[in-house]
Amino acid sequence: MIDVTKVQQLNDDGYRILTKREDFDVTALQPLYAQMYWANARPTEIIEKSLDHSVLYGVEKDGNIVAFSRWITDFATYAYLCDVIVDEAHRGKGLAKWILSEALSRPDLSTMRRLSLVTQDAHGVYEAFGFKPIDHAERYMELFRG
């Protein structure tokens, strides 16, 4: 998990964790999504709908959302982490680790049997929290519609 002294430094630097749906305005998130190869053309109405049906974690500084993640879950046995985004100007400060740590300590997520995610290039971040490649990947299937 993230070092408590690092969290204090982030707080001292003016960063603040966000978790309430009303904290996440789709207009404020659009620039973050635009930075991501996998979501840069995602329509506003799709982002809005996804926010309404997810557990949200973010980081705010000076009135701007600078990091964001969302979880899709049944609140009982399974959760999927998606849309982890850190603004380019704020990368390398531990913000993704901070919101991941906060989410994983949430009571209803901390007791789940299975948590999953997909990443192209951040394996090390997630491995530090116990994520690993899927055992028995041959059992998993998906219908991907691009």
Q: Helix %, strand %, coil % for the chain, to 5?
A: 40, 25, 40
* Residue 61, pLDDT above cutoff 90: yes
Q: Please check the confidence at residue 1 and state whether its pLDDT lies above 70.
A: no
How confident is residue 12, by pLDDT bands cut at 50, 70 and 90?
Answer: confident
Question: Beta strand pairing status for 64-73 and 55-61?
Answer: antiparallel
User: Over 60: is that where the pLDDT of 108 sits?
Assistant: yes
* Dihedral sign (CA 59, 108, 133, 146): negative
Residue 4 has pLDDT above 60, yes or no: no
More confident residue, 2 or 83: 83
Q: What is the pTM of this model?
A: 0.87
Q: Rounded CA gap, 67 and 107, in Å? A: 22
Residue 2 has pLDDT above 70, yes or no: no
The sign of the torsion formed by the CA atoms of 71, 78, 100, 82 equals negative
Ramachandran quadrant class, 20 (left: phi over 0; alpha: psi -120 to 50; beta: rest): beta
- Report the DSSP beta bridge partners of residue 58: 18, 68
In the predicted model, is pLDDT for residue 133 greater than 90?
yes
Confidence of residue 128 (pLDDT cuts 50, 70, 90): very high
